[in-house]
Chain A
Amino acid sequence: MSKELKHSFVELLETHQNIVHKVCRLYTNNRDAHNDLFQEITIQLWKAYPKFRGDSKFSTWMYRVGLNTAITLYRKSKRTINTQDFQGVEFKIEAQEFDDTEEQQLKLLYKAIHQLNDIEKALVFLYLEDKNYNEISETLGISEVNARVRINRVKTKLKTILNP
């Protein structure tokens, strides 16, 4: 593939890499696994890029490829089958905005999310990214009504995990 194509892709990826990091954030629980998944998503994005026509936003297109890789395409390598918790890696949140309680709460929330199955995590991800039910249903290939119902169920499930 041409150099220009590579250049334009890497530039876009550099700008939007946060999306890939966030997908990895929900689906992996240690640094090696994060890097592995990030690598695979990047390759899948690059493979699909020549067909990217720009009729959707690059970021929207990235969600889809990122989630598809995490849910379906990614073959977990041995070293990623690791039950080690994500506690060792903390997301830095702008300090002035949070007190300890909030930070603690977020940590627990991420821990709870890691207990969800892959599809539920995808629902959570799309919800957090503020995608509407139509986009959620299109990304996963389910009906809009079911997307709505399932988001509510995931919320209830998270509540149960957090407050047993």
Chain B
Amino acid sequence: MDELEILKNHWKKEQYPYPKLTYAELYQMILRKSSSIVKWIFIISLLEFGFWIGISFFMKDSTFHDNMKDVNLESVLVPISIISYIVLFYFFYLFYKNYKTISATDNAKTLMENIIKTRKTVKYYVIFNLVTIIIGVIFGTYYVLNNVPMVVEKLELASANNQEFKVYASFILGVVLVLIIVIVLLILFYWLIYGLLLRRLKINYKELMKLDSN
């Protein structure tokens, strides 16, 4: 006889492994807070949005911003800030819309796909921010090297001493190094948080896809 058939014959007759829960115990249970991965994704995503908004506020108050003002770059910064807020609202709207579609009553595949989709919205927002930072740094560096009087002076002095290349290289290298450190730290952080949180979901989704592919 098939092994599973043996179990099936007994399945219905099985009693609770633990004491049957009473009405009062079950009532208490529904008042407790969920600790599902969806809840965690929601909290972490909100923190991420908060983090990037915080960064933009920090930049606004920083000396960097004042320097930009000094070199008349505010006309560029204002439209950039407006665009970044529009992008933020767009991503947040997408995130919330996707989050709302997550339902435990969907079939397993749809549920997993909706969770992954919600998560991806925030991921794309983070990628957008990183790309913006990289582009900003490239343009910023170019501008600083050519327009900031103190830097231009140093470069002219270096040029007179035939050390122009050295100064350029060390400046660019420094900027690149800081960028790399920031990006690596962020990737590590993401890998740790989402790697742990979504590992099981990803394994099961892959398994489900495999199941449905042949």
Q: A96 to nearest B CB, angstroms?
A: 11
A40 and B35 contacting across the interface, CB-CB below 8 Å: yes
Among B7, B34, B111, the residue within 8 A (CB) of A72 is B111
Does A141 touch B at the CB level, under 8 Å? yes
CB-CB under 8 A from A105, the residues of chain B are: 6
Does B129 touch A at the CB level, under 8 Å? no
B200 and A118 contacting across the interface, CB-CB below 8 Å: yes
Q: Which residue, of A72, A92, A158, has the highest number of chain B Cβ atoms within 10 A?
A: A72
B211 and A128 contacting across the interface, CB-CB below 8 Å: no
Docked CA distance A158–B103 (Å): 32
> Interface 1/0s, chain B 39-67, versus A by CB < 8 A?
01000000000000000000000000000
CB-CB under 8 A from B11, the residues of chain A are: 22, 128-129
Query: Which of B22-30, B69-77, B120-128, B179-187 touches A?
Result: B22-30
> Interface 1/0s, chain B 90-104, versus A by CB < 8 A?
000000000000011
Q: B70 to nearest A CB, angstroms?
A: 50
Docked CA distance A89–B16 (Å): 11
CB-CB under 8 A from B38, the residues of chain A are: 73
Interface size class, chain A: 35 or more
Interface size class, chain B: 35 or more
Q: Which of A133-164 contact B (CB under 8 A)?
A: 138-143, 146, 150, 154-155, 158-159, 162
- B210: nearest residue on chain A (CB-CB)? A119
Q: A25 to nearest B CB, angstroms?
A: 6
> Interface 1/0s, chain B 201-214, versus A by CB < 8 A?
10110011001100
Q: B76 to nearest A CB, angstroms?
A: 44
Among A9, A14, A89, the residue within 8 A (CB) of B17 is A89
Main secondary structure of the interface of B (DSSP, over half): helix
A143 and B204 contacting across the interface, CB-CB below 8 Å: no
B29 and A34 contacting across the interface, CB-CB below 8 Å: no
CB-CB under 8 A from A72, the residues of chain B are: 37, 108, 111-112, 115, 201, 204
CB-CB under 8 A from B15, the residues of chain A are: 91-94
Among A31, A90, A142, the residue within 8 A (CB) of B211 is A142
B36 and A106 contacting across the interface, CB-CB below 8 Å: no
Docked CA distance A159–B20 (Å): 32
Does B110 touch A at the CB level, under 8 Å? yes
11 A-B contact pairs sorted by A residue (CB < 8 Å): A14-B23, A71-B108, A72-B112, A73-B37, A92-B15, A94-B15, A97-B13, A106-B10, A128-B8, A158-B3, A159-B3
Beyond A89-B18, A98-B10, 18 extra complex contacts between A and B, CB < 8 Å = A11-B23, A13-B26, A14-B21, A18-B16, A21-B17, A31-B18, A34-B18, A42-B26, A43-B34, A44-B34, A47-B34, A47-B104, A68-B111, A73-B37, A117-B204, A127-B8, A139-B107, A155-B2
Report which A residues bind B (CB closer than 8 A).
6, 9-11, 13-14, 17-18, 21-22, 25, 31, 34-35, 38-40, 42-48, 51-52, 61, 64-65, 67-69, 71-77, 89-94, 97-98, 102, 105-106, 109-110, 112, 117-119, 122, 124, 127-130, 138-143, 146, 150, 154-155, 158-159, 162
